[in-house]
Structure 1
Amino acid sequence: MIVPLSLVGLAALLSLGLLASPYPFLAPGAVVGLAGALVLYRKPAWGLLAIAALVPLEGLLKDSLVSGAKLIGLGLVLILTLQLAVRQLPGERLRSNQWRLLLPFMALYLLSLWTSDSLALSLVHLRELLVGLIVFVITLLVGRDLNLPMLARLITVSVCVTCLFAIFSTKYQEQGRASAMLDPNAFALLITIAMPLGLWLTIKTRQILLKLFWAGCCVLLLVGMTKTESRSGLVVLLISLGIVLYNYREQLTRIRPRHLGFALLGIALVLPLGAALMPAGYAERIESLMLLKSGVNAHQDESLGRRSSYLVVGQRMISHSPLLGTGPGTFPLHYADTGFSKAFAPENSKTTDLYRRAHNTYLELFSETGVPAGLAFVGMIALALRNFWQARAAWRATGDVARADLMTHLTMCMLAIGLFLMFLSAPSHKYLWMMLALSSVLLRQAREPQLAEAKA
């Protein structure tokens, strides 16, 4: 009780100080902060759940002066550091097979920063990446205590709430595309992460009303995807749905001929409804993918032409400095010096419109931090996919089919992130680093019964 008593004393002093200050109305905040600190101290995994739930809402809440996710993250850092210092948390929780790739990546990243073409841009990039690294360490420390079904529920509901805002309010749309105050592709990434979790909840929930609720959430996510008009999001979503069908192929064989009529009726209702709700612009964007067969023509599709220009600039940067790159965050600087930036700039554009990111995390890291660092980053994602799949196999071997199926859906989430990073610049995305850490935590949990049997 020493720590709680010290927190009470600190809150009391802070409240008295605020009462004596010109801002006495802030004094109740000290009490609220104390209550939150005590909750985080006793249940730090709840803090990670709160961060996961707040990620989709960051765009909606970005106008607020104080970010709830930042406050919770800072509180978790202080509390977990204290618990590690007093050995309330075992240090072995920090063990992860991701360190063998993460440490070389960070060493190469810092060397690239040291030789950067623009130290100011690199430091901004480092600050953003540190947020992801903090989420990674927090997940390693509290991942064992994480309620995975609750995590699935919170992410699904949070993304669905964001979908409602983005669909029905023009404030959260960008040129007619749903964005939720984010980039439309970033919003589509959230949907592709939430969809596998929503499908798992729909399949595994036994109560009919809850099953219908989660099925409705999945439909809402599909509508949200069409409103983003993201072609890459649609491709990733179809891949995820294909994996779901493959995972439950044994259950599909139990479908009787009498059930096919209901299935055909559902398809007959859903397809026309989907065609009616799909924006006309989205259909045109999907049809434009057929242009790739004959090469990219910037006059026919400016978006594809601009992405091709990113590849050209990135290739030049890699050939110029393959070992350490040009420095983290410097791709926009090099892109602005090319003719592509002016050619693809919108009318009446500002100078800042010339500085564009690559919209491809892998291309950015390979060109900005060098080929070795880029390979290490790709290796971390591949290792996370392997961890989830091996955890699935381990739980199947012990007969825990429910957890094995959940690992399949988490693998789909990780795969969605890995694929989407080819179309989006998000090396510091919180879900990415959370999944990287969670994969190793769950693999260790899945293997514990086997290790116990081996020791016995």
Structure 2
Amino acid sequence: MIFPLSIISLFGLVCLALLASPYPFLAPGAVLGLVGVAVLYRKPAWGLLGIIALVPFEGFFKDNALSGTKFIGASLALILMLQLALHQIPSERLRSNIWRFLIWFMVLYLLSTLNTDDMGMSLGHLRELSVGLVLFVITLLIGRELNLDLFARLATLSVTATCALAMFSSKYQDQGRAAGLLEDPNAFAMLIAFAVPLALLLVIRSPNLWHRLFWGACFVLLLGGMTKTESRSGLVVLFLSLMIGVWHYRTELTRIRPRHLGFAMLGLVIVIPLAIYAMPAGYVERIQSLSILSAGAKSQDESLGRRASYIVVGGQMISENPLLGTGPGTFPLHYATTGYAKAFSANRKIGDLYRRAHNTYLEIFSELGIPAGLLFVGMLALGVYNMIRARRAWMLRNNGNQADLMTHLGMSFLSLALFLMFLSAPNQKYVWIMLALTSVLRLKAEQAPLTGTKA
């Protein structure tokens, strides 16, 4: 693949301009940038893997205008646009069954923006969502070249590293709850729930004992990190995800013999007490608070009370504006005018009054209207269906390794989709990358020849 001379000339001019400027020390950075762009031009899939690895570390760059993910993402977008224009990448790669929902969703999104209650908030929301849309298109274009095993390793290692930081340093905790490099422990729990199925896959696929011990340690660290977040929603999502994994490997369970049960019982006797002992007391209390929920009962848990108030306010917004909603990003504006905002605000600060819905689906239904909400749900449901079809296609081709991989990637994507019920994150990068990847993997599986060998 020939690297365009025009881009080399552009970087040369930039270097000369920097040398003649008051900041000549920045000139080597332009050279390094040229090298990076050249590598991305040759291997654009490496750029997407880099974004996947850097997402958990974005907190390091939260005060910087230019972060690693932004630089790689912008470079990839420009490079792929150029390669499309030069027909170096076939435009057929943009084909996806997700478009049937996404295009109409964006039409309604723009109509809702024009009819918004606050244009500034809506434009800010659109700017954030555009990052996810760009990643969606990038993944469609280069998803076929993505090394999925390396994808699993990088995602597991990066999230595990932030888990280690959060577990052993109070600097990366929020009032005792692990938050990693993010501001919200629940957002951190979402990353952990995404990485756990991938770590489990690496444990199962390890070629030897040392690899198995290493990835097993990562798996344990992820579980410990989830416990340290004290996220009840994370525990629920993780449990559902692991149950899906047990169902997938149910045929392997038939190999268990009665003599193995003794070792299993011994392991449970050791692990369960240790897990209970290591679990923070606050987390136990938060889990126990779920047991007091009953019809008509008033919750004594402030967090559950806030979430109930979000549902009440969101339901009122939907009833008043069912078609186009109140505009993207305007839920905090409406919530701040209610008595709930003052009741659940500890210090009456602006950040405490203007709260998001902590539920992406509720937020979209209330801000964009019922039609757009249904389209958004349809996109994610279609993504899950794509993974089911991809797994089925590989099983028809007797390729057990690929079927296992589809199962674990499907578990990770389902974890993201479920977590959106407990977190406002419509622009979460992993969501949009995985959404595009589901259609890519399904097409790749269905186009594979039916002469696969049994794994």
Q: Could you say which TM-score interval applies, normalised by the shorter chain?
A: over 0.9
**Which residue does the alignment assign to 1:169?**
169
One-letter amino acid of the counterpart of residue 253, structure 1: T
**Cα separation, 2, equivalents of 1:2 and 1:195:** 40
- Does residue 247 of structure 1 match 2:256? no
Per-residue deviation, 1:8: 2.9
Q: Give the TM-score normalised by the residue count of structure 2.
A: 0.97
**Which residue does the alignment assign to 1:315?**
315
Structure 2 counterpart SS, 1:3: coil
Structure 1 counterpart SS, 2:289: helix
**Cα separation, 2, equivalents of 1:276 and 1:182:** 27
Structure 1 vs Structure 2 CA RMSD: 1.5
When residues 336 and 296 of structure 1 are mapped into structure 2, their CA distance, relative to the original with a 3 A threshold, is farther
**Cα separation, 2, equivalents of 1:451 and 1:74:** 39
Structure 1 counterpart SS, 2:322: coil
Q: Is the 8 A contact 1:51 1:73 kept in 2?
A: yes
**Which residue does the alignment assign to 1:446?**
445
State how 1:1-400 maps to structure 2 within 5 Å: 3-64=3-64, 66-180=66-180, 181-298=182-299, 300-346=300-346, 348-400=347-399
Per-residue deviation, 1:36: 0.3
Q: Is the 8 A contact 1:296 1:308 kept in 2?
A: no
**Cα separation, 2, equivalents of 1:62 and 1:329:** 20
Q: Is the 8 A contact 1:296 1:304 kept in 2?
A: no
- Comparing 269-278 with 21-30, greater Cα deviation is found at 269-278
Q: Give the TM-score normalised by the residue count of structure 1.
A: 0.96
**Cα separation, 2, equivalents of 1:9 and 1:116:** 44
- Comparing 63-72 with 360-369, greater Cα deviation is found at 63-72
Structure 2 counterpart SS, 1:293: coil
- Comparing 169-178 with 138-147, greater Cα deviation is found at 169-178
Per-residue deviation, 1:9: 2.6
**Cα separation, 1, equivalents of 2:296 and 2:218:** 38
**Cα separation, 2, equivalents of 1:444 and 1:452:** 17
Per-residue deviation, 1:418: 1.1
**Cα separation, 1, equivalents of 2:39 and 2:268:** 47
**Cα separation, 2, equivalents of 1:186 and 1:68:** 20
Q: Is the 8 A contact 2:3 2:41 kept in 1?
A: no
**Which residue does the alignment assign to 1:424?**
423
Structure 1 counterpart SS, 2:3: helix
**Cα separation, 2, equivalents of 1:8 and 1:123:** 35
Per-residue deviation, 1:11: 2.4
Structure 1 counterpart SS, 2:382: helix
Per-residue deviation, 1:201: 0.7
When residues 101 and 450 of structure 1 are mapped into structure 2, their CA distance, relative to the original with a 3 A threshold, is farther
Per-residue deviation, residues 245-299 of structure 1 (Å, max 9, x unmatched): 111111111012222222222222211221121100000000000111344524x
One-letter amino acid of the counterpart of residue 252, structure 2: Q
One-letter amino acid of the counterpart of residue 355, structure 1: Y
- Does residue 406 of structure 1 match 2:405? yes
One-letter amino acid of the counterpart of residue 139, structure 2: T
Q: Which runs of 5+ in 2 are unaligned?
A: none
Identity of counterpart residues, as a percentage? 63
One-letter amino acid of the counterpart of residue 39, structure 2: V
